[in-house]
Amino acid sequence: MYERSILHFDGNEWIKFERSCRISDTFTYEFWVKADEAQIMDEERNTGADGIGGRNFLVGPGFYPEGAAGCGISVGTNGISVYEHSVNHLPARMVFAYDFSDWQHVAVVCDEKKLRLYINGVGVKGESLPTSAGQLIPSLCLGGHEHYGTFKGQVREFRLWSTARSELEIRNSMFMSLGGDEAGLYFYRDPERGLSVTGGVRRYLDVSVIIPSFNKCPLNYFSLLSLERQHFPMERMEVVFLDDASTDHTPTMYYSLLPEFSFIYVQQLRNKGRSRIRNIGASLASGYTLLFADAEMISGPDWVMNHVRHHQQGERKIVSGAMRSKHLYTMTDPDYSPEQIVDMAEIYEGHPTAAPIIHEFMQGSQPPIQLLPFEWMFDPDHLDQWSRRNGYFQPLLDTYGYRFKLFHYAWLNLITSNVSIRKNFFDELGGFEEDFIGFGWEDWELGYRAAISGALFIHDDSLTNYHQAHPISDRNMLDSRTNYLLFCQKHPRSMEVRLLALTMLPDWITLPELNDYLSEYNNIRAIYKNRFTVLDQYLNKAFDLLLDRLGQQEDIKLPIAPSVLGEGSEAALHEEIAGIQGLESFPNLLKLVERISKYFY
C-alpha cells in the first residue's frame, strides 16, 4: 500500500488511523493527490445528504450526533468536494472543479469552521455557505467510507494540522518532508523513515505488530485484548490490524477497542490473500521491528517486550517462539471436526467453567459460547494448565538447539503466527512473495531467502503464544501442496527445497533425517566436484518426477513411476554408489538413494 512514501488505493480499501480526532473547528489537511477516476460533483449546500453513496472519499467523514459533524474529502479526476457528516446530514460544503488526473497539492483549511481551499499553494476558493454544525471534527479514515464510497488513486505527504495554515505556510512546506516536531502538527507518517506523529505527539516506535485477519471474530478480539495487557510501553508500539474482507462481525470489533497503543485498522473489501495482506501491513508500519502474529493468537504479557529485546543488537535476526506454541479453545464452534471436539473435551476435563459448557455442546447445544472468562483467558498460568503444546518441532530443537546449529532448515523458524524481523531487513528481502495463494509456505519461502541473505534464526520459549483453535478448511492440504510446488518453481535447482517433497510421501521422514541427507549431499558435491555426476543426475530426475506427481493433486501411492534412468545410466549409477560405499563417509546419502529407489519400478 505504501511504496516510496506513496499511499496507493485501489478503490477497495481504507485505513482508520484514529477513531476520533481530538481537535475540532480549526485544522488543516495537506496532501499531494493523483486520482484515477472521476467523481460526482454535487451542488454546494449546508443541509441535505447528497454524499450518501458513490462518492470518492479520500478522507472518509466520521459520524457524529446532532450538534457536531465529521469532515470528509472526496477527490476525483474532475474535482474535489468537502463534506460534513451528522444525523441525516452529508452535504458538500465546498466543491471545486479541477484536473486531478496528475499530481496536485491540496490544502483544505478549516478556520473556526470556515473552509478555504488551496491548490498548489494558491488559494482558489472560500466557502459560500456557513456550516450548520456546532462543531466540525476532522477524520483520519483514509481511502474511503464503509457506506458512501472509496477513493482510487495515490496520495503522498498526507498531514493534518491542529492550526489554520496560512498560504505562506502551505507554500513553504508543500515540497518538503516533515521532521515530525513541527508546531501544530497533529498527524503525519513516513514509514520509510520510521516516523509517526499521532494526536500531536511524535512517537518513537520500537515495534509494529502486524495482524491479518479473515473471519476470525471473536478470536481476533481476544488476541487484541491480550495485546492491551502487554508489559511494554504502549507509546512505543503500534498494532496494524488488517481485515482481509471478512464477512463475519470483525468490522464491528473496531468500535469495542480503546487501546493505549497506536491502533491502525485496515479494511479490505476484496480478499488480498496471506502474502499480500501482510506486505500491506508491513508497508504501513513505522516500527523499528515488525512482529507478525495470526489473528487467533493470544499473547502472554511479556511477549512484545521479549521480541523487541532480541532486536536491540544485530541486524539480520529472525526470532520466533512458534515451534513450541500451545493450542487451546476459547469458543465452542459447531464447525469443529470430531477430532477437535474430542481434543477440546480432553483439554478442559474438570475445568470449572469450560467443562460444563463443553458437556452441553456435545449434547447438541450448538451456538458458539465463550469458554473462559477474561480473568483466566489472559492469565499465562491458567492458560499453561489448560492448553496443549505443539510437539512436532521438539525433536528438532532437542537436536540442534534454539539457534539451530548445523541445521540447514533453520529458516523453518519463520512462522508468521509468531515471528519478528527488523523492518529494514524485511524490506531488503522484498517481503512475502505474493504469488502464493491460500494456505502455507509463503512464510517459509521468505525464511529461505532470509537464510541466503545471512539471517540468524532464533527460537525463544519466552515468546510462546497460544493458538485459539478454529475450524480447519478442507482446502488447507491442497493449498499447501500447491504452494510448495510454487516454492520449488521459484528455486528450481535447490536440493534443499526439493528434499522437502519427501515430507509429503506416505513413508514419513523426520526433519533431522532430511538434514542429514542434505549435509552429506552438499559435502560430497563440495569435496568431489567432478565425480558422482550420474548420482546427481539421478537425484534431480527423481525429484522432477516426484514433484510432477505431487502436482497431480492425487493421493500419493508408492511406487510412483518407472525407473528414473536408462539401462546404461543405471549401470553407471550402481558403479558410483559402490564408489561412495567404499569411501565409508556418506552413510546418510546412501540411505537417501535407497529411499528414492523404492519410489520407482
DSSP 347-377: HTTT-TTHHHHHHHHHTT--S--B-S-HHHH
Alpha-carbon gap, residue 108 to 123, rounded angstroms: 10
The string of pLDDT tens digits covering residues 193-229 is: 999 999 999 999 999 999 999 999 999 999 999 999 9
CA 462/CA 51 separation, integer angstroms: 51
Burial of 340: CB neighbours in 10 Å, binned 0-12, 13-18, 19+? middle
The pLDDT tens digits for 54-85 are 899 999 999 998 889 999 999 999 999 999 99
Looking at residue 394, its pLDDT comes to 92
Name the percent of the chain in helix, strand, coil, to the closest 5.
35, 25, 40
How would residue 269 be classed by pLDDT, with cut points 50, 70 and 90?
very high
Residues 397, 400, 401, 407: what is their CA dihedral angle, to the nearest 10 degrees?
-100
Q: Cα separation of 149 and 55, whole Å?
A: 5
* Cα distance between residue 429 and residue 453, in whole Å: 8
pLDDT band at 601 (very low <50, low <70, confident <90, very high): low
**Which of 535, 226, 205 is closest to 382 using CA atoms?**
226
The highest-confidence range among 31-35, 500-504, 559-563, by mean pLDDT, is 31-35
**Helix 533-550 and helix 476-490, axial crossing angle in degrees, nearest 10:** 140
Are 227 and 239 spatial neighbours (Cβ–Cβ below 8 Å)? yes
pLDDT of 555 higher than 90: no
In this prediction, residue 475 carries a pLDDT of 85
User: Looking at the predicted structure, is the pLDDT value of residue 568 above 80?
Assistant: no
Write down the pLDDT at residue 231. Answer: 96
| All cell numbers assigned to 221 | 478480539
Please identify which residue in the block is written with the cell numbers 491502533: 263
95-142 residue pLDDT tens = 999 999 999 999 999 999 999 999 999 999 998 888 989 999 999 999
Q: Do the domains 205-324+400-461 and 2-201 match in fold?
A: no
Rounded Cα gap, residues 445 and 157, in angstroms = 33
Please write the tens of the pLDDT for every residue from 514-549: 999 999 999 999 999 889 999 999 999 999 989 988
Q: Distances from the Cα of 143 to the Cαs of 59, 101, 153, 354, in angstroms?
A: 6, 17, 9, 43
- CATH no. for 2-201: 2.60.120.200
What pLDDT is stored for residue 261 in this prediction? 96
How does pLDDT run across 491-504, given as a tens digit for each residue? Answer: 999 999 999 999 98
DSSP alpha helix (H) spans, 126-260: 167-173, 219-228, 250-253
Residue ranges per structural domain of the chain: 2-201, 205-324+400-461, 327-389, 488-598
Least confident of 267-276, 405-414, 472-481: 472-481
pLDDT at 600 over 90: no
Provide CB contacts within 8 A for 312, sequence distance 6+: none
Lowest model confidence (mean pLDDT) among 82-91, 331-340, 554-563? 554-563
b/e map 563-598, b = 16+ CB within 10 Å? ebbeeeeeebbeebbeebeeeeebebbeebbeebee
| Number of residues that make up the chain | 601
Fold classification of 205-324+400-461 (topology level): Spore Coat Polysaccharide Biosynthesis Protein SpsA; Chain A (3.90.550)
> What is each CA distance from 580 to 50, 516, 585, in whole angstroms?
81, 16, 8
Tell me how far apart the alpha carbons of residues 30 and 155 are, in angstroms, rounded to a whole number. Answer: 10
Give the mean model confidence (pLDDT) for residues 20-35. Answer: 97
Which pLDDT value is given to residue 109? 98
Whether the predicted pLDDT of 20 surpasses 70: yes
SS3 for 154? strand
The set of cell numbers assigned to 273 is 490473500
3 pLDDT band, cuts 50/70/90, is confident
Question: How high is the pLDDT of residue 560?
Answer: 76
pTM, entire model:
0.94
Where does 237-326 have alpha helices with state H?
250-253, 274-284, 303-310
d(Cα 196, Cα 18) in Å, to the nearest integer?
13
